[in-house]
Chain A
Amino acid sequence: MKKVSVLLLTGLLLFGLSLVGFAQDTDTLVMGTTDRVTQLSPANSYDHYSWHVLRMCTDALLTIKPKTDEVAPSLAKDWEVGPDAQVYTFHLAEDATFTDGEPANAEAVKWSLERALRLDGPEGGVGLIKMIDTIEVLDEYTVKITLKSPDATFLKRMTGQIGPALIWSPKSTPADEFAKGEFAGVGPYKLKSFTPDQSVVYEAYDGYYGENAKTKNVVELKYTQSAQLRSAIESGDIDIAFRTLNPIDIVQLEEDPNLKTEHAAVSPSVRYLLFNVTHKQFGDERVRKAVSHAVSRNEIVEQVFSGVGKPIYTMVPEGWAGSLPTFPKQDLAKAESLLESAGYTEDNPLEAVLWFSPKHYGTTEADVAAVVQGSLNSLSNMDVKVKSLEWGAYTEQMSQGGFGMFFLGWYPDYLEASNFIAPWTTESPEGLGTFFNHHPNYDAYVKIMDTAKATPDVEKRSALYESLQILSTEDVMWVPLWSNMAQAYVVTQDNVMNAYVDQTMDIHIPLIWKE
């Protein structure tokens, strides 16, 4: 027995001696995330992280200038916009080559965009560039794109923010099927390996036409839960923790002297209440207005998100061109009087249901619903119950008009105010459950949105977006609640330099290095 004990102790001791952290070298950056890749197919994926991975491996014609929402050159060094915002001509960089050695010229741009339009995967975001009518190669480094109708938002849709706008090599990317990770790009990194639900590994591309990546190797590790992501950054397993830490963890990590925390000034990840404007209770505009006066955004942000969030009073993110906060702050008296005018009294309160989906937006959703329920039930003439459904059933019910009042979230496809107004009003009002196409003012929204699309001048376009936000405060198909700041935070080790999140809600990994 003694011998066994001695052997066991020796084994444990030897094992203990091996418990020494493996230091990471400065050539390798390790990022941890809870995000996951759905599919590495530019024409059939539509989520933040899949597009992040694709963007690491290639560029689009344009990009968003870091820390701004302005369009900047990328594969196209400059461009011209026709007077009617329907014809766009791009002049390409002449020294760009794909990682397979092929030239990234006008033919490749035409092939790549046409491929995306042709494949148009049902799970992808090709709809965002579907306004393209024809693509012409004017010379080896000039390409002309003509749209089906004027669209002043097109330049934003040609940036790397949009997965289907990314440019791939015709030689190494399958022409008639989804790429699923088989591609050659023109970006700062090459994809070295991708293991689903585990890791993505990149290696810097030496022949990149732009500024070379600051760090040679990048490994992105998938963590199942936010708690593990926190533990991993605290223990030094990873250099960067990005998307998504729990709000309370962020607050505590900000106090950690060994770590650095950065966040975007504004988060375009917005959360809101939606109404079905044809619903028997919420079809009454006064009821919807009452709710918009009753909710307390500050309580949501403070009680549920520990202050890691911002109350919002318009759907369009603060600071963006065309953003205008128009929704009222909490006014319970006004809310009660609106309900009274709709016929609801203390003896005959409005009995309604508030719907949410418990997991799709993280684990905080039930708490948010409880806070909003509390605000609404503080009205003497309202009695709200909370119900939930799993995401698949939730969206099915929503699109079938089964909900009167429900939560949803939005994340921009492209950095333009229209992307925060059109989806629920003019583009997919039924799919997204507002049924706003049955509202008397629907045609006015369509008209203003069409006018905005055909208005290249940013100031004039912004004024049109502002008018829509004023209208939405009267029609109340939505109630903007808060912007989700947790996704706008990045936490790094002390020796990681230049890691920040900007309006794109991404970090620019090629610009990050370790000291």
Chain B
Amino acid sequence: MNNLGAYIVKRLATTIPMLFVLITVVFILLRVIPGDPVQAMLGGRNVSKELIERKRAELGFDKPIHEQYVEYLAGIFKGDFGNSLRTDKPVLQEIFSRFPATLELAFWGMFIALLLGVGTGVWAAVKSDTLIDHGLRIFHIGAFAVPIFWMGLMFQIVFAVYLGWLPVGNRLGALSMAMFTPITKLYVIDTIIKGRFDLLIETLRHLLLPALTLGIIQAGLLGRMSRANMLEIIDLDYVKTARAKGLAERIVVFKHALRNAMIPIITVLGLQFAILMGGAVLTETVYSWPGVARFLIRSVDARDYPAIQGSIIFIAIFISVINLIVDVLYAQLDPRVRY
């Protein structure tokens, strides 16, 4: 096994105890807080106590917590995360059916964050201490400080209601949703594969506001980081040498300075993804985006234990994998890093 392979195996191995702790904490926390899923499901209705007890027994919630825990762990080892109490379908099936929506939103959110954050950060650094720099710095702070749900609602009111340019929410329009059968459920890819460019445009129209909402928050932080890194690098000797050699400013900035300035940014991208998933919870709610984060919120409301546990574990694994990929990429970008 080469160094890279060994590194990946080592990283994966360290993930397992983290997941075990996470599963245990989530499992216990859900059960020690007051109220239970059966009451959330049947309480307040004209039903007998016997029926509530029957349902509790049927779901195994009448057993001691340690027995439930052992059964749950045994299920996980067999790949069985249980059935959602709300939908009565396997939790993994529910998560996988929604994951493409979250992935697509997260990808485009990150794309916008990088484009906007790095772009404005570099611009601010190049125009350091000018009016443009001050304006962009205000934008970076503002973007990071504005609550995501508020920004989402404002975008909806301005672009969907007043201007009528973009839809309010969902992944496709009602008619298209009814007629279109996706393949991968990544709609941008699916519409291209099927040659449905009308639906591709519709998909992008639906994607724009949620992705922008998610991306702008990240762009604030990335912008500040990019500006600071660029300012440091722009003053380094090798950049001055490049300028002295008479290279065009564009080449100095983008080819020589930016490449090195990007290295610390790449390192935080993995962590940014965790923040992105947190943002997705709000973005998916505001835009009725049918992803995993919205599924998690609904499950929390309904005290759907298996769905909450499954979603959290899935998101944790997803973030771990993204961090691993980022770390591997980091080493590729920076030759000084060795596994």
Contact = CB atoms under 8 A, between A and B. Distances in A.
Given A392-B43, A428-B46, A432-B46, A197 B295 contact: yes
Given A39-B88, A222-B288, A21 B168 contact: no
Contacts, number: 176
A180 interface: yes
Contacts of A39: 87-88
B42 interface: yes
A427 B36 CA distance: 23
A393 B170 CA distance: 32
B201 A18 contact: yes
Interface string A431-446: 1100000000000000
A394 B43 contact: yes
A359 B52 CA distance: 22
Contact of A430 (B49, B178, B285, B298): B49
Given A122-B58, A392-B303, A393-B34, A224 B288 contact: yes
Contacts of A234: 161
Contacts of B285: 224-225
A432 B301 contact: no
B157 interface: yes
The residue among B161, B174, B285, B290 with the most chain A CB atoms within 10 A of its own CB is B174
A163 to B, nearest CB: 13
A430 B165 CA distance: 54
Interface stretch (A149-157, A235-243, A449-457): A235-243
* Size bracket, chain B contacts: 35 or more
A399 B39 CA distance: 10
Interface in A388-440: 389-399, 408-409, 413, 423, 427-428, 430-432
Contacts of B173: 22, 237
B54 A197 contact: no
Contacts of B35: 389-396
Interface in B73-90: 86-89
Contacts of A330: none
A6 interface: no
B167 interface: yes
A127 B301 contact: no
A389 B34 CA distance: 9
Interface in A114-135: 122-123, 127
A228 interface: yes
Nearest to B59: A122
Nearest to B160: A235
Nearest to B198: A22
A227 B153 CA distance: 8
A210 interface: no
B43 A219 contact: no
B141 interface: no
A389 B51 CA distance: 23
Contacts of A423: 46
Contacts of B165: 16, 19
B48 A228 contact: no
A221 interface: yes
A235 B168 contact: yes
The residue among A25, A197, A199, A389 with the most chain B CB atoms within 10 A of its own CB is A197
B64 interface: no
Interface in A223-274: 223-225, 227-228, 231-232, 234-238
A122 to B, nearest CB: 4
B173 to A, nearest CB: 5
A46 interface: yes
B309 to A, nearest CB: 16
B160 A237 contact: yes
A427 B202 CA distance: 52
A30 interface: yes
Interface in B25-59: 33-37, 39-49, 51-52, 54-55, 58
Contact of A228 (B43, B286, B301): B286
A219 B177 contact: yes
A359 B177 CA distance: 30
B48 A428 contact: yes
Contacts of B168: 223, 228, 231-232, 235, 237
Contacts of A399: 39, 43, 49, 52
A63 interface: no
Contacts of A337: none
Interface stretch (A69-77, A84-92, A188-196, A377-385): A188-196
A28 B51 contact: no
The residue among A25, A221, A409 with the most chain B CB atoms within 10 A of its own CB is A221
Given A225-B286, A392-B35, A408 B44 contact: yes
Interface in B155-192: 156-157, 160-161, 164-171, 173-178
Given A199-B177, A413-B46, A18 B161 contact: no
A28 B175 contact: yes
A236 B164 contact: yes
Contact of B42 (A123, A217, A225): A123
A197 B307 CA distance: 14
B53 to A, nearest CB: 10
Contact of A199 (B49, B174, B284): B174
B250 interface: yes
Contacts of B286: 224-225, 228
B42 A393 contact: no
Interface string A77-97: 000000000000000000000
B178 A192 contact: yes
Contacts of B161: 231, 234-235
A24 interface: yes
Contact of B170 (A198, A427, A432): A198
B262 interface: no
B43 A396 contact: yes
Contact of B47 (A195, A198, A235, A428): A428
Contact of B177 (A16, A180, A198): A198
Nearest to B169: A228
B140 interface: no
A198 B36 contact: no
B54 A122 contact: yes
A22 B176 CA distance: 10
A198 B203 CA distance: 15
Nearest to A30: B174
B315 interface: no
Contact of B290 (A197, A217, A392): A197
Contacts of A122: 42, 51, 54-55, 58
B178 A201 contact: yes
21 contacts: A22-B173, A22-B175, A24-B174, A28-B174, A28-B175, A192-B178, A198-B290, A199-B170, A228-B156, A228-B168, A232-B167, A234-B161, A235-B160, A360-B44, A392-B35, A392-B303, A393-B35, A395-B35, A395-B42, A396-B35, A431-B46
Given A21-B164, A235-B161, 14 more contacts: A1-B250, A15-B204, A24-B174, A178-B88, A196-B94, A221-B170, A221-B288, A225-B288, A228-B169, A393-B33, A394-B35, A408-B44, A431-B43, A431-B52
8 tightest A-B CB contacts, nearest first: A395-B43, A393-B35, A392-B35, A392-B40, A393-B34, A219-B174, A30-B174, A122-B55
Interface of B: 33-37, 39-49, 51-52, 54-55, 58, 86-89, 94, 153, 156-157, 160-161, 164-171, 173-178, 201-202, 204-205, 250, 284-288, 290, 294-295, 298, 301, 303
